[in-house]
Amino acid sequence: MAEGTNYIDRLVAELCPDGVEYRPLGEIADVTSGYVFPVKYQGNEKSAEDNIPFYKVSDMNLPGNEMFMTSSNNYVSAESAKEMRASLAQPESIIFPKIGAAIATNKKRILTEKSIVDNNVMVVTARSVINSKFLYYVLTGFDLMSWSMGAGAVPSIKKSVVVKHEVPVPPLEIQEAIVEILDKFTNLEAELEAELEAELEARTLQYEYYRDSLFEALDCPRVPLGSFAQLVRGSGMPKTDFSESGVGAIHYGQIYTKFGTATAEVIAHVPEEKAKKLAVVNPGDVIVANTSENLEDVCKAVAWVGDSDIVTGGHATVIKAPEQNAKFISYYMATGRFNKDKRRHAFGTKVIDVAPKNLAKIEFPLPPLEEQQRIVDILDRFDALTSSLSEGLPAELAARRSQYEYYRDQLLSFPRKGENQ
């Protein structure tokens, strides 16, 4: 990295002895906004006729669109584009969100073909004086929120502000050299990210196979959940009931996003008066999310292993089996066999639900408590290893990204022409 920086420094000293010129964006690029996207043109997949991508801000989040826009949720025909009086944005143009909370995501992307963008997107098309990829890297290090206007609830970016923003414009030879260096570094970062994510996926699959094998190897009766547990369905408790203190609570939505197999802590509370109307969760109970938008997540469980009673609300069921190991039950409810069984008892299309009476019919293995604890101990250790990797991956990626951003910013920092060197 230092070698690349030194090489650029030598080039700048040779080609720009008096410093690098900074010019307003409006002088070296065309800045335009997108078009209103009528509903009647939306929803078309790519075809021989509908082959012009019409990008919305949300398309920047599609897999594969991390830098280059290669796919869209909507395509239109040339005839439709003409009817909308929409001009096509050119390949290598840079796009970014210009209104709403999406500005804070700071996303910038590069178009790979002639495209249309909607009116929530701004387009910057480099002119011949500046390399489009160089301009992309310059803008990548810029915070879009610095351009946002207004003190209202909805931030927005105006063209009149963007065109005044000054960017460095060194000779094309320097621009191309920097692009080559940053492209290599970007590719290395992407390769590392793919390797780390592949490692995490492999460990997760290994863990899931091992966990399922432990349960399948049990030589014990399989009995309906309702034969050894009481199931209590919760009700109420919208998030608006949450308070800073009071009785600990677990909302069904948190089971999907905030908790693993078990927890001894809560991240929400409700006032004591409201808690009296909710389902009580005792230490050793298991909370199950009955409702989800997909089959994979419905019936996700978390064992409550805290020291005191808490509460839960609607779309959740409390499994009370005081004579069994709560974590054993929770671990089993993550297995492939349980997931297969629950599908037979799920109903709904847009919203999937497994009612307590149907959950009670699903058979569980029920070995002696000593065997339950043995399996829990094994899975706890394995889970800790997997969690450690899961936590380490984002930290490693964050460190590498910070390193990359620092290196990029160093390469793109030039002495301004006319200032004292």
Nearest to 242 by CA among 251, 234, 233, 254: 251
Taking only the tens place, the pLDDT of each residue in 229-262 is 999 999 999 889 999 999 999 999 999 889 999 9
Is 31:163 a contact under the CB 8 Å cutoff?
Answer: yes
In the chain, pLDDT over 70 holds for what percent of residues? 97
Give the pLDDT band (50/70/90) at residue 48: confident
The verdict on 102 and 72 lying in the same domain is yes
The verdict on 6 and 72 lying in the same domain is no
DSSP labels, 126-150 = E-TTS-HHHHHHHHHTS-GGGTEE-
Q: Mapping DSSP to helix (H, G, I), strand (E, B) and coil, where does residue 335 land?
A: coil
Taking only the tens place, the pLDDT of each residue in 79-138 is 999 998 999 999 999 999 999 889 989 999 999 999 999 999 999 999 999 999 999 999
pLDDT of residue 370 exceeding 70, the answer is yes
Taking only the tens place, the pLDDT of each residue in 50-61 is 899 999 999 999
Query: Does residue 353 lie within any of the structural domains?
Result: yes
The verdict on 163 and 131 lying in the same domain is yes
pLDDT of residue 1 exceeding 70, the answer is no
The verdict on 348 and 372 lying in the same domain is no
**H or E stretch including 33?**
strand 29-33
Taking only the tens place, the pLDDT of each residue in 54-82 is 999 999 999 999 999 999 999 999 999 99
Query: Does residue 9 lie within any of the structural domains?
Result: yes
Cα separations in angstroms, 156 against 65, 138, 383: 23, 21, 44
The verdict on 283 and 384 lying in the same domain is no
Q: How many domains does the chain have?
A: 3
* pLDDT of res. 390: 67
pLDDT of residue 421 exceeding 70, the answer is no
* pLDDT of res. 396: 76
The verdict on 344 and 410 lying in the same domain is no
- Label the pairing between strands 363-365 and 268-270: unpaired
Record the pTM: 0.63
Q: Which of 365, 395, 410 is the last residue of a domain?
A: 365
Query: Does residue 213 lie within any of the structural domains?
Result: no
| CATH number of the domain that residue 123 is part of | 3.90.220.20
pLDDT of residue 196 exceeding 70, the answer is yes
Taking only the tens place, the pLDDT of each residue in 154-193 is 789 999 999 999 999 999 999 999 999 999 988 888 888 7
The verdict on 337 and 381 lying in the same domain is no
Q: Which of 317, 349, 365 is the last residue of a domain?
A: 365
The verdict on 142 and 231 lying in the same domain is no
* pLDDT of res. 154: 77
* pLDDT of res. 336: 94
- Within 13 Å of residue 209, how many CA atoms lie on the same side as its CB? 6
The verdict on 378 and 343 lying in the same domain is no
What's the rounded mean pLDDT across residues 383-410? 79
What's the rounded mean pLDDT across residues 211-217? 95
What's the rounded mean pLDDT across residues 393-421? 81
The verdict on 282 and 383 lying in the same domain is no
Taking only the tens place, the pLDDT of each residue in 34-43 is 998 888 888 8
Query: Does residue 239 lie within any of the structural domains?
Result: yes
Look over the chain and give the mean of its residue pLDDT values, rounded to a whole number. Answer: 91
Query: 404: domain range?
Result: 1-21+181-204+367-421
Q: Which of 337, 365, 393 is the last residue of a domain?
A: 365
Name which residue leads in pLDDT, 360 or 200. 360
* pLDDT of res. 386: 75
